[in-house]
Structure 1
Amino acid sequence: MAKNSLPMLPKTGGGALSKVVWSLVGVALFVLVVKYPNDAAVFAKGAFGLLGGVVEGLVAFFRQIGR
């Protein structure tokens, strides 16, 4: 069986194209934060709120299993 059995996942390692794409993503995020700090803050607050809700849901699920 192949080392990477799921074709949708990228291969490990980094080629030149991968580095260029991640660099562009980093530059885009930097520009977003510098030019539109309020929008970036709202986005970050929403993302962390969503992440917190997921963690709380998992904790509640595992607590119910433990009973």
Structure 2
Amino acid sequence: MTALVALWILVPAALFLTLVLYTVGIGLRTRHADLRGEAATAAAGGRAPRLVTVRGLDGPRT
């Protein structure tokens, strides 16, 4: 019975610590990721800028 109680406590604790370490690892790997998009530019004809700026996949990154 004591082993069952120990497993009841240790298994969730181990799962929690695994999830925490996984989350911290993702945070460390992506800490310098730049998720900001490019600034919107005015469209031809003086219309309002587009909400999404689309550029080619092989275009230069600035």
Band of TM-score, shorter chain = 0.3 to 0.5
Higher relative contact order, structure no. (Cα contacts within 8 Å, ≥ 6 residues apart): 2
- TM superposition score normalised by structure 1: 0.43
Compare CA radii of gyration and give the structure with the larger one: 2
